[in-house]
Amino acid sequence: MQVTEYKPKIVAFCCNWCSYAGADLAGNNRLAYPAEVKIIRVPCSCRVNPMFILRAFQRGADGVIICGCHPGDCHYTSGNYYTRRRMALLFSMLNYLGIEKERTRVEWVSAAEGAKFAATMNDFVQTVAALGENKRLEDLRCKL
Amino acid sequence: MQRIGVFVCWCGSNIAGTVDVEAVSEALKKEPGVVFSTNYQYMCSQAGQDIIKNAIAEHKLSGIVVCSCSPRMHETTFRKTAAAAGLNPYMVEIANIREQCSWVHKDKLTGTEKAIILGRTAIAKVNLNAPLTPGESPVTKRALVIGGGIAGIQTALDIADAGFEVDIVEKQPTIGGKMAQLDKTFPTLDCAACILTPKMVDVAQHEKIRIFSYSEVESVSGFVGNFTVNIKKKARYVKEDVCTGCGLCTEKCPQKNVPNEFNLGMDNRRAIYIPFAQAVPKVATIDPRYCTMLKTGKCGVCSKVCTAGAIDYKAKDEYIEEKYGAIVVATGYNPISMEKFDEFAYSQSKDVITSLEFERLTNAAGPTAGVLLRPSDHKHPKTIVFVQCVGSRCSGAEKGKEYCSKICCMYTAKHAMLTRDKYPDTDVYVFYIDVRTPGKAFDEFYRRAVEEYGVHYIKGMVGKVSPQGDKLMVQASDLLANKQLHIEADLVVLAAAIEPDASARPLATMLTASMDTNDFFTEAHPKLRPVESPTAGVFLSGTCQGPKDIPETVSQAGAAAAKVIGLLAKDKLTGNPCVAHSNELMCNGCSSCERVCPYGAITYEDKEFRMPDRTTRMRRVAKVNEAVCQGCGACTVACPSGAMDLKGFASAQIMAEVDAICK
Ligand SMILES: Cc1cc2nc3c(=O)[nH]c(=O)nc-3n(C[C@H](O)[C@H](O)[C@H](O)COP(=O)(O)OP(=O)(O)OC[C@H]3O[C@@H](n4cnc5c(N)ncnc54)[C@H](O)[C@@H]3O)c2cc1C
Ligand code: SF4
Ligand code: SF4
């Protein structure tokens, strides 16, 4: 019997200045991470509206990760602090709704941290894969 | 509906090696809106760009997606290509199928699958793109420098030498700042006045520079290229253009007991005064707190002796409004108050002084004409104890500062060395936590103090200074010898930490420039944009940004000037079109967006709206200043009514991307 490996759907929001560049550096250095990760470029992690994350889960994403500059290094000085506070609230609310904490993450990745980017993605995909598919918020009407 | 063209790049074998480019361009043909799709070896090459240009013309494309390397690499290239073919450059999206696909995945099937999804995502976004045009605004070709210390002086001179007008606003009656009070300067020991005063004269004589001394900034409005600043010229009761600076009045004024701030209160001046001989502008000023004429209407001596007729007891504060393209903050620093450090007995003994007071005591133009004498009894001190780090590097303490003031190790070495040089019979002790001397020729300088001049450097802190008779008993620990020391000193000199000027905080609020917790101005980027504030058009020069010595201050001042010149050289500023925009119909004027904007880009205006019943109503709505907005998007998330959106990264676009990924 052939077992098809379960492949989670991961949406990664990366800020233009640090994390997106970090992802590019992972590419330059050919540091592999699972293809399940698809990146959306945003100017700053603080552009990520909780609505986008809810939308992703509604459309069947299994995990959502937001990457931004390290605290103190934000291109816009304070954007990542907003992200940190907003996401802490959102994630605990999602947890309450049954979306496990492990499916959501905020990570600081600088433009110099290609290796950290790849390692973070490897770890995140593994963690999410271990939880299995996310059915909690998925709106099947969207699939019609 | 858009007419989208898709261009898949092979990047030689960089992409084509792990991604089946043919399959990708075929698959993407089926996506909504796509009317043309192709692939080519090198899209960024001339030939590749020609393919794009021709396709735009031939298929009347309204948007394009290039599946290639990172947008950080070639987004600009492809935007230019589009523009050359008459397409709005912001109708271009890049799917990053190299750095984020072919280079990180090894299996061709996986790579191809992911590339298709990334292409699909970019197409979903482009479907919602709208042409964007960067806003343009004119530039007022004049700069304002706030603060006339060495930082402000150097910045003003550099800007003026490039041919632009500069105004300096200095709150004191003269420019010069702290450097004018110093005696000799490390590491070369040239005298501060000899190198500073010629620069002050250059400023005074420069046809492009105006000095507003004894003046302060009252209010600032506008944005980069177009600031309007209100300057308050405090009444000095002396007509600046008439006073010749002869100084006769300052000798005849009967009010003799005014503490002289230039000598840090160690001697007195008159109620009418010129701070020092080389002051610029060299004009007298009446101190209204002490002048009997101004207080009681009786006296008028200065007006009688002034042959030029410059005295004007009826003068009032004047307000001047001026436009500027750029503003440089150069408000400098002050030594902290010694109030909270009474273990060193600063308030109990005149012979416990700060290092800046020591500078005045050794300065030929100071209260003792440069002879080192104890302030209490005017005797030569035989034993001097220098205490470093007073109020610096105080971790977690409620008194003092956590940071290192950076200059104290060097000026203490200077003071110790100069003392031993002039008075070899004096015993000099320096107590330190660490001696920090990074900098060109700095460590050599410190070692000379120890090795050539025999200064006793002792690692350890001074615990207490107690005045006993005419002596100061110094209790300290010697950490290396692990013992307690008791030194009978004649003079104790405290290297007080330095902090930003108290006026910096209100000024920062006026400029919407950000500050750190210590009230130093923050830079736009600590490494890459060190002389710009995050607020466009506001620049930082000198110690207002962090502790610095003179060489560093001057280099930073020049760097700030270069940035200002770069700005003023432009006739028009082209903005970034990816800025926030609020939908007036949805906005409820709640201010949530204004509070999160790090640049102060959001203001409010009252607008008239037609109600369904045909009446009109005034409502307060948010308005984004496109020239100031940097496009971070913080406000879009803060907005509770969904009125605020970001052009180029609109909520609908990002959600379309999310949908395309999760399909
Ligand atoms: C005891 C001592 C010894 C030193 N010795 C040396 C040395 O030997 N070598 C060396 O390299 N460095 C030395 N330094 C450091 C040196 O003094 C500074 O690096 C330098 O003065 C910094 O210049 P600045 O223009 O940034 O600041 P400042 O000299 O403080 O100038 C700031 C100016 O802005 C004005 N201002 C402030 N706020 C406002 C406002 N709101 N509106 C208008 N005007 C305003 C102030 O009145 C002042 O004129 C020493 C410092 C101390 C304390
Ligand atoms: S996008 Fe950022 S910079 Fe622009 S108005 Fe909103 S918060 Fe301010
Ligand atoms: S946050 Fe939204 S509703 Fe509130 S003022 Fe700003 S744009 Fe208007």
More confident residue, A70 or B319: B319
Q: Is any Cβ of chain A less than 8 angstroms from the Cβ of B277?
A: no
Query: Is the pLDDT score of A68 beyond 50?
Result: yes
Check whether residue B257 and residue B343 sit in a common domain: no
Query: Is the pLDDT score of B281 beyond 90?
Result: yes
Check whether residue B311 and residue B326 sit in a common domain: no
Closest Cα to atom 4 of ligand 3: B590
How far is B271 from B65, CA to CA, in rounded Å?
Answer: 74
Check whether residue B370 and residue B484 sit in a common domain: yes
| Cβ-Cβ contacts under 8 Å for A140 (sequence gap 6 or more) | none
SS (H, E, C) B613-632: CCCEEEEEEEEECCCCCCCC
Q: Are B386 and B418 a contacting pair, CB within 8 Å?
A: no
B279 lines ligand 1 (CB under 6 A): no
- Measure CB to CB from residue A39 to each of B100, B105, B631 and give the nearest one: B100
Inter-chain touch A23–B596, beta carbons under 8 Å? no
Question: What residue spans define the domains of chain A?
Answer: 11-135
Query: Is the pLDDT score of B460 beyond 80?
Result: yes
At B527-586, the pLDDT tens digits run 888 999 878 899 999 999 999 999 999 999 999 999 999 999 999 988 889 999 999 999
pLDDT (0 to 100) of residue B380: 96
At B368-385, the pLDDT tens digits run 999 999 999 999 999 999
Check whether residue B323 and residue B397 sit in a common domain: no
Check whether residue B205 and residue B305 sit in a common domain: no
Check whether residue B465 and residue B425 sit in a common domain: yes
pLDDT (0 to 100) of residue B512: 78
How far is A111 from B390, CA to CA, in rounded Å?
Answer: 39
Q: Which atom of ligand 2 is nearest to the CA of B646?
A: 1
pLDDT (0 to 100) of residue A144: 55
Domain A11-135 has CATH 3.90.70: no
Check whether residue B356 and residue B417 sit in a common domain: yes
Q: Which among B103, B126, B149 is the end of a domain?
A: B126
CATH number of the CATH domain containing B239? 3.30.70
Average pLDDT, chain B: 95
Check whether residue B483 and residue B522 sit in a common domain: no
Total domains in the fold of chain B: 5
> Which A residues, 87 through 116, put their C-beta within 8 Å of a C-beta on chain B?
none
Q: Which among B126, B152, B174 is the end of a domain?
A: B126
pLDDT (0 to 100) of residue A1: 44
Check whether residue B99 and residue B158 sit in a common domain: no
Q: What is the dihedral of CA B58, B60, B62, B63, to 10 degrees?
A: -20
- In a domain, residue B655? The reply is no
How far is B49 from B34, CA to CA, in rounded Å?
Answer: 19
How far is B609 from B309, CA to CA, in rounded Å?
Answer: 61
Selected residue of A9, A24, A29 to mutate for chain B interface (largest B Cβ count, 10 A): A24
- The boundaries of the domain holding residue B394 are 333-499
- In a domain, residue B11? The reply is yes
At B153-206, the pLDDT tens digits run 999 999 999 999 999 999 999 999 999 999 999 999 999 999 999 999 999 999
Q: Phi and psi (nearest 5°) for B106?
A: -100, -30
Query: In terms of C-beta density within 10 A (0-12 exposed, 13-18 middle, 19 or more buried), how is residue A29 classed?
Result: middle
Model confidence, pTM? 0.78
Query: Is the pLDDT score of B208 beyond 60?
Result: yes
Q: In terms of Cα–Cα distance, which of B413, B492, B420, B406 is closest to B453?
A: B420
Check whether residue B380 and residue B430 sit in a common domain: yes
At B406-421, the pLDDT tens digits run 999 999 999 999 999 9
How far is A21 from B69, CA to CA, in rounded Å?
Answer: 12
- In a domain, residue B661? The reply is no
Query: Is the pLDDT score of B111 beyond 50?
Result: yes
Q: Which atom of ligand 1 is nearest to the CA of B548?
A: 19
The sign one gets for the Cα dihedral B453, B454, B459, B464 is negative
At A103-142, the pLDDT tens digits run 999 999 998 899 999 999 999 999 999 998 887 777 766 6
Closest Cα to atom 28 of ligand 1: B332
- Specify the pairing of strand B491-496 against strand B352-354: parallel
Region B337-353 average pLDDT? 95
Q: How far apart are the first and last CA of chain A?
A: 31
Q: Which two tokens stand for residue B346?
A: 């600063």
C-alpha pair distances (Å), B48 with each of A16, B7, B70: 26, 9, 16
Selected residue of A9, A10, A16, A49 to mutate for chain B interface (largest B Cβ count, 10 A): A49
Check whether residue B354 and residue B446 sit in a common domain: yes
CATH number of the CATH domain containing B51? 3.40.50
Number of neighbours of residue B98 by Cβ within 10 angstroms = 26
Amino acid at B134: P
Residues of chain A in contact with residue B527, where contact means CB-CB under 8 angstroms, are: none
Region B455-459 average pLDDT? 97
SS (H, E, C) A35-72: CCEEEEEECCHHHCCHHHHHHHHHCCCCEEEEEECCCC
% of chain B residues with pLDDT over 90: 90
Check whether residue B75 and residue B117 sit in a common domain: yes
What is the ipTM metric for this complex?
0.95
Q: How far is A106 from chain B (nearest CA, A)?
A: 16
Decide: helix, strand or coil at residue A104. strand
Q: 């101190």: which residue's tokens?
A: B287
